[in-house]
Structure 1
Amino acid sequence: MNFLGIDLGTSSVKIIVMDEEGKVIASLSKEYPVFYPEQGWAEQNPEDWWNATKEGIKELIEKKQINGKTIKSIGFSGQMHGLVTLDENDKVLMPAILWCDQRTGEECEYITEVVGKDKLSKYTGNKALTGFTAPKILWIKKHRQEVYSKVSHILLPKDYIRFKLTGEYATDVSDASGTLLFDVENRVWSKEMLNALKISEDLLPKCYESSQVTGSISKEAALETGLEEGTLVVGGAGDQAAGAVGTGTVESGIISVAMGTSGVVFASQKEYAVDSENRLHSFCHANDEWHVMGVMLSAASCLKWWVEAVNKGNSKTFDELLYEAEKIPAGSEGLIFLPYLMGERTPYSDPYAKGCFIGLNITHTRAHMTRAILEGVAFGLKDSLELVRNLNIPINEVRVSGGGAKSKLWRQILADIFETRIDMINSVDGPSYGAAILAAVGAGKFDSVNEACSKLIKVTESVYPNKMNIDKYERMYRVYSSLYSRLKDTFNEIS
């Protein structure tokens, strides 16, 4: 018995096959383009997703010699917030507007004004951001009236793949949470939001829990992919919730930190709770519970910028620059880096925030600056961690993943700044692995998502805080935390 996990990312789809013991026995990725037709816009062709996915599944089955009959169920992960519109004949009406598209600033202001900031938080647990789906729908209503008049179905990106595989219009609670049309606390579409924005619920897909069965592989999809007709398909989850399942972040007290291009601090919670200022996202989790999430826009990308853009001419590799930084004492001798290279989301939600070094003097070297970048990103992640603490969510263990987590120095800095143990785990496939786990739960292999994670995911390596560095970093963090408010007006003037 095997389980298929499909992660529909922004640049590629990753597909894995997991066996009953949790071992990944086959995997592959297929890329597709992103289009930027105007400044701040980001779009994709849903058919590109489908072509990559069906070809990937077929290739996985044929080249990896996986018998399609052994795949008992399929789970999804996917980029969140994107808008797919279908007409009454299920034809895609226009390119999908992606999570990173920034065209909906006016719509976000409109939503906040019409609904009210407090009611928006009450109804959805979140505030209006350009990435979310509802502002995109309003943008189409205003700017593409001829398209909106033909819309019969609205889907999120991964759910378009579900539709192509099963013929069902369905989504899951974690992905729906990022639409700004969902009552996160009660896990249903928000009638208050739909009425306020004049959007018909008839356009929206049926919503399921992440491990619930939503349909099965159709005869047509079976012929196109090599899968067996009737194979079960479960709800799946948005990429962050699926990634949390893939790291075992499903119990209260376990925190996950994803150090990819962006940085995400993710905490599971048994009871629904919302940050009073909506600095954290409050979403449904994939394990029938909830989660909060803080997002910084530039994490490992800060180091990538430093190595590939600034130090490119020196021919220094990541490892060489990190080796230099290891020799610099904690605190970089008073040098602080603000990691706002692409603006910031948590805790400031400011597109005009700028990255900068503070405290440079004649004694500082490149090695100091490298270490300051590592520390600055860790301080930025601590901003989200402190908001999690303020919700009285316990922090017993932090599990890290992503490209930045490969650096032991960076993990040690995180442990010192967070003042807690930092763990690496045996799972490296993140969202696609989480999707496969959800598929296994849906097929009855496990009684719950939490049980599956406890059996399949293990800690492989731990880094503990260095007590000698904790006080120094706490003082540095107080300075770091004060800098944004002092520089906010300057950032705006520069912009």
Structure 2
Amino acid sequence: MDRYFIGIDVSTTASKALVIDEAGGVVASHSTPHDLQTPRPLWSEQDPDQWWSATCSSLRAVLTQVAAHDIAAIGLTGQMHGLTLLDAADRPLRPAILWNDGRSGAQCAAITAEVGAEWLYGHIGTMMLPGFTAPKIRWLREHEPDIYRQAAHVLLPKDYVRLCLTGAHVTDVADGSGFALMDIARRTWSDQMLAAFDIPRAWLPELCESPDVCAYVNAAGSVATGLRVGTPVVGGAGDQAAQAVGSGIIERGQTSITVGTSGVVFTATDQYHPEPAGRLHTFCHAVPGHWFHMGVMLSAAGGLRWFHDALAAGSSFEQLSVEAATVPPGAAGLIFVPYLTGERNPHPDPLARGALVGLTLRTTRAHMVRAVMEGVAFGLRDNVELLRAQGIQPKQAAISGGAARSHVWRQILTDSIGLPLYTVADTEGAAMGAALLAGVGAGNWPDVPAAARAVTQLVDEQAPTPSAVAVYERLYPMYQSLYPALRDSFHALHSFED
């Protein structure tokens, strides 16, 4: 009998169901979109029940192509950090507060002062940031006390889907790391952090390792989705750790760069060694006994999307890439500061903003497109430089996301960062990683590295061009100088935002 494995990806934009076979080949895939609400500046929210309804739609679609009784296991992945607050009956108390929500900056500063920055960085693997789950809980206690008093459970987005599917309150250690409530070195909830935030342990889900079976589809989940009652569900992982599994980023020093709406630099490690100033996230990996370093910029391909929608709506993204290729490296001295939605690493500042610096009468749209691409590349290089300062010297990196589809942007990235970049044959991202974790849980592969090696195929490597590298080595320090120079102005200008 054929066996199949499902990866469910509850991303910011859609719920996706991906089916793979025992060799890791894609059999079926379907996505159902989500809505996003931004009711106030810095706020970003979604309806948790829409995640579940979209997941049900996607599962029912793929189950028209494979039989439910042939599904051996399910893995979950999705957007990290989203605060999903439930009452005692497991009903959402309010819209979920997402990873890119910046309202809890004051709470981050307060908790850092209370417990001490150095201890905090070493314990949770990073500085406290507004995107994380814990400071949002404190924000709710201070600003929505009536809702806070009704709270009984806190889950992450993919784990709310797990709850609806199985009835279990569970998260994995990779996604759970983003709560900012774990002792990352020990891969457990932290009594000290729970005490600091005054959060009851009973609110939190149980922790498991990513490939471990932690729940089973129940009768209600079966009726809603068409899955077989009793189908095993593994822990899964947050989107970045799951994508790393799908891209083969599992051994120390292996590195990936993702240029989606946000940008991520990710490297695997077999030791817990956080960046001393907390400027990288050092979290549990989906590979048991391993961790990862991750740097995040909040607006990467989102920067080019903004430019397209605001200034070039009549052109395709392919046309914009063609225009960028007509401009030499350095964009004639035009630099794009890419902080359109604030920034996380290395400048944890929700009030940071974007800028085009160096405009002249000779500046054309082509110059601006190239400058946007280069500014995003420099933002990602900031995080690569933090890795290098940690003693991690990547020799190459896998690239994925929107930029991976543009030869021009890939070349800008490899020249700006100074690393050969390659793509992998699989383009299913985090959903593939979740499906592979399901396969490990079902015994199809002996462990996560074996699963990743079975499906990862490197293709299409691009190497740095020495002449372009030389230009960017001159330009990058100028880019680095802009955030310190503009920070106070960014903060003052915030008062003019609606």
TM-score normalised by the shorter chain: which range applies?
over 0.9
More deviation in 425-434 or 215-224? 215-224
Distance in 2, Cα, partners of 1:34 & 1:46: 11
| SS of the residue 1:161 aligns to | helix
Equivalent residue number for residue 318 of structure 1: 317
Deviations 1:457-481 (A, max 9, x none): 1112111111222222111112222
Distance in 2, Cα, partners of 1:335 & 1:107: 37
Aligned runs of 1:119-268 on 2, under 5 Å?
119-268=119-268
Equivalent residue number for residue 49 of structure 1: 51
> 1:269, 1:393 within 8 Å by CA — same for their partners in 2?
no
Q: Which runs of 5+ in 2 are unaligned?
A: none
Distance in 2, Cα, partners of 1:231 & 1:293: 33
Distance in 2, Cα, partners of 1:223 & 1:316: 45
**Counterpart amino acid of residue 296 in structure 2:** V
> Alpha carbons of 1:330 and 1:41: their partners in 2 closer, same or farther (altered >3 Å)?
closer
Shift of 1:482: 2.0
Distance in 1, Cα, partners of 2:384 & 2:40: 36
Equivalent residue number for residue 341 of structure 2: 342
**Counterpart amino acid of residue 144 in structure 1:** E
**Counterpart amino acid of residue 81 in structure 1:** H
Distance in 2, Cα, partners of 1:102 & 1:146: 22
| SS of the residue 1:395 aligns to | coil
Distance in 2, Cα, partners of 1:202 & 1:181: 13
> Alpha carbons of 1:92 and 1:345: their partners in 2 closer, same or farther (altered >3 Å)?
closer
Equivalent residue number for residue 350 of structure 2: 351
> 1:84, 1:95 within 8 Å by CA — same for their partners in 2?
yes
More deviation in 359-368 or 420-429? 359-368
Equivalent residue number for residue 116 of structure 2: 116
Equivalent residue number for residue 292 of structure 1: 293
Equivalent residue number for residue 77 of structure 2: 77
**Counterpart amino acid of residue 56 in structure 2:** K
Deviations 1:328-376 (A, max 9, x none): 2222233322222222221111233332233334444332222222111
> Alpha carbons of 1:38 and 1:480: their partners in 2 closer, same or farther (altered >3 Å)?
closer
**Counterpart amino acid of residue 463 in structure 2:** Y
Equivalent residue number for residue 480 of structure 1: 479
Distance in 2, Cα, partners of 1:364 & 1:160: 49
Distance in 2, Cα, partners of 1:201 & 1:58: 35
Equivalent residue number for residue 392 of structure 2: 393
Distance in 1, Cα, partners of 2:121 & 2:113: 13
Shift of 1:295: 1.0
Q: Say how many residue pairs are matched.
A: 491
| SS of the residue 1:321 aligns to | helix
Distance in 1, Cα, partners of 2:488 & 2:438: 49
Distance in 1, Cα, partners of 2:88 & 2:223: 24
**Counterpart amino acid of residue 316 in structure 1:** S
Aligned runs of 1:420-435 on 2, under 5 Å?
420-435=419-434
Distance in 2, Cα, partners of 1:372 & 1:98: 29
Structural RMSD (CA)? 1.8
Deviations 1:406-441 (A, max 9, x none): 110111111112222110111111111111011011
Shift of 1:75: 0.2
More deviation in 439-448 or 334-343? 334-343
Distance in 1, Cα, partners of 2:368 & 2:49: 44
> Alpha carbons of 1:90 and 1:297: their partners in 2 closer, same or farther (altered >3 Å)?
closer
> 2:42, 2:350 within 8 Å by CA — same for their partners in 1?
no
Equivalent residue number for residue 33 of structure 2: 31
**Counterpart amino acid of residue 12 in structure 1:** A
Question: Is the counterpart of residue 382 in structure 1 residue 384 in structure 2?
Answer: no
Which residue of the other structure, out of 3, 16, 22, is the alignment partner of 2:5? 3
Distance in 2, Cα, partners of 1:476 & 1:465: 16
Q: Percentage identity across aligned positions?
A: 45
**Counterpart amino acid of residue 293 in structure 1:** M
| SS of the residue 1:347 aligns to | coil
**Counterpart amino acid of residue 136 in structure 1:** K
> Alpha carbons of 1:128 and 1:37: their partners in 2 closer, same or farther (altered >3 Å)?
same
> 1:82, 1:96 within 8 Å by CA — same for their partners in 2?
yes
> 2:258, 2:401 within 8 Å by CA — same for their partners in 1?
yes
> 1:253, 1:397 within 8 Å by CA — same for their partners in 2?
no
Shift of 1:37: 4.2
Equivalent residue number for residue 270 of structure 1: 270
> 2:185, 2:272 within 8 Å by CA — same for their partners in 1?
yes
More deviation in 439-448 or 132-141? 132-141
> Alpha carbons of 1:149 and 1:323: their partners in 2 closer, same or farther (altered >3 Å)?
closer
Equivalent residue number for residue 439 of structure 1: 438
Equivalent residue number for residue 305 of structure 1: 306
| SS of the residue 2:18 aligns to | strand
> 1:298, 1:341 within 8 Å by CA — same for their partners in 2?
yes
More deviation in 287-296 or 141-150? 141-150
Question: Is the counterpart of residue 370 in structure 1 residue 381 in structure 2?
Answer: no
> Alpha carbons of 1:163 and 1:297: their partners in 2 closer, same or farther (altered >3 Å)?
same
| SS of the residue 1:396 aligns to | coil
> Alpha carbons of 1:323 and 1:490: their partners in 2 closer, same or farther (altered >3 Å)?
same
Shift of 1:241: 1.1
Shift of 1:304: 2.0
> 2:81, 2:133 within 8 Å by CA — same for their partners in 1?
yes
Deviations 1:165-204 (A, max 9, x none): 2221111001111111111111000111111222121221
> 1:13, 1:30 within 8 Å by CA — same for their partners in 2?
yes
| SS of the residue 1:107 aligns to | helix
Shift of 1:3: 0.3
More deviation in 149-158 or 392-401? 149-158
Q: Which runs of 5+ in 1 are unaligned?
A: none
Shift of 1:283: 1.0
Distance in 1, Cα, partners of 2:90 & 2:435: 28
Question: Is the counterpart of residue 448 in structure 1 residue 447 in structure 2?
Answer: yes
TM-score (norm 1): 0.95
Deviations 1:49-84 (A, max 9, x none): 22222232123213xx31011110000001111222
Aligned runs of 1:484-495 on 2, under 5 Å?
484-495=483-494
Shift of 1:8: 0.7
Deviations 1:77-96 (A, max 9, x none): 01111222333333333332
> 1:123, 1:192 within 8 Å by CA — same for their partners in 2?
no
Distance in 2, Cα, partners of 1:476 & 1:39: 32
